[in-house]
Amino acid sequence: MIRLEAGDWRAELELRLGGAVLDLTYRGRPILRPTPQGADDPLQTACFPLVPYANRIDHGRFRFEGQAHDVGATPGFEPHALHGVGWRTAWTATQVDARAAVLTLRHAAGADWPWAFEAEQRLVLSDEGLSIALSLTNRDDRPAPAGVGLHPYFHRPFDARLTLAAPRVWLSADLIPQELAPADALFDWSRGPRVADAPFVDNAYDGWSGEARLASSDGVAVIDAPGVDRVHVYAPKGADFVCIEPVTHRPDALNAPGGEASGLVVLQPGHSVSLSMRIGVAPEPMPEAHD
């Protein structure tokens, strides 16, 4: 386990659980959902990286440059493949100090992903919060499809309100996108509704501003992902968390129709794709004055 500290912030990381963040607190208050003691599943952690793709591939099958590929279903999420291979693989720490860590993953081409790649996370804790920069570089000798994302589970008090400006949402069947529609066709977060009032949401939003706020009686968490215009929101009914996931492409982008701007990129050998996310808190409101 790696511990980072800066001012009022504390974070813990775990290499063996997909290079995940286990815990992120501000003044002792959880900002991300804490990982249970003894957890052995990345899905129980506070945040993990998504490489070399985000979210689902329909039945784990796709075609790329005229060739059919089958990466198999992710156990527990059959029949689809989910979130790539990085979250189910141990990472290596290449730099660590009191406030920062650099984690890397080298993947050899195999049945679970046909192209070799190298991924890197740079996690920095400061007085302003936690920054994560995630990148993926094609280490194969062939062009490769690629995308990245981050999967933070934000602590969700009962009265939490999420403000997130994104005008469009992918409506899904069996969690595979079928139609891009106005956000209010599912649930529009732009005016800060209570998360508890939302239906079950496990959908990608398009045209995102790159910013979000999760406000409650505990305080206000702020999410900033500069230049990222897609976000996946996972808000199960009755859960104590909500996921606000910056991603470079929509789910099942590998099966997107030709000509669609799905966000998936094709990396030439040695080329990279990246995104970054910052998690902080808004200034606490001044207490009301009393005579």
pLDDT in tens, 89-112: 999 999 999 999 999 999 999 999
CATH number at residue 188: 2.70.98.10
% of the chain surpassing 90 pLDDT: 96
Residue 262 φ then ψ, to 5°: -80, -15
If you average pLDDT over every residue of the chain, what do you get?
Answer: 95
Domain that holds residue 35: 2-281
Answer whether 136's CB lies under 8 Å from 194's CB: no
Task: Please name the residue that has the structure tokens 């939490």.
Answer: 160
Check: CB of residue 140 under 8 Å from CB of residue 266.
no
- Overall average pLDDT of the 19-25 stretch: 98
Cα separation values, 274 from 73, 219, 267, Å: 25, 30, 12
pLDDT of residue 169 exceeding 70, the answer is: yes
* Over residues 275-286, mean pLDDT: 84
- Does this model's pTM top 0.85? My answer is yes
**254 close to 115: Cβ distance less than 8 angstroms:** no
pLDDT average, residue stretch 49-61? 97
In a domain, 287, yes or no: no
Segment 160-177 mean pLDDT:
96
Please tell me the predicted confidence (pLDDT) of residue 284.
Answer: 59
Number of domains into which the chain is organized: 1
Residue 289 forms part of a structural domain: no
Q: How confident is the model at residue 139 (pLDDT cuts 50, 70, 90)?
A: very high
- Residue 4 falls in which region: left (phi positive, over 0), alpha (psi -120 to 50) or beta: beta
Evaluate if residue 271 carries a pLDDT over 70: yes
pLDDT-derived band of residue 290, with 50, 70 and 90 as boundaries?
A: very low
Q: What percent of the chain has pLDDT over 70?
A: 97
Does the structure show a pLDDT above 50 at 288?
Answer: no
pLDDT of amino acid 287: 41
Tens-digit pLDDT profile for residues 245-263: 999 999 999 999 988 999 9
Q: Is the pLDDT of residue 83 over 50?
A: yes
Tell whether 286 is covered by a domain: no
Mean pLDDT along residues 205-212: 97
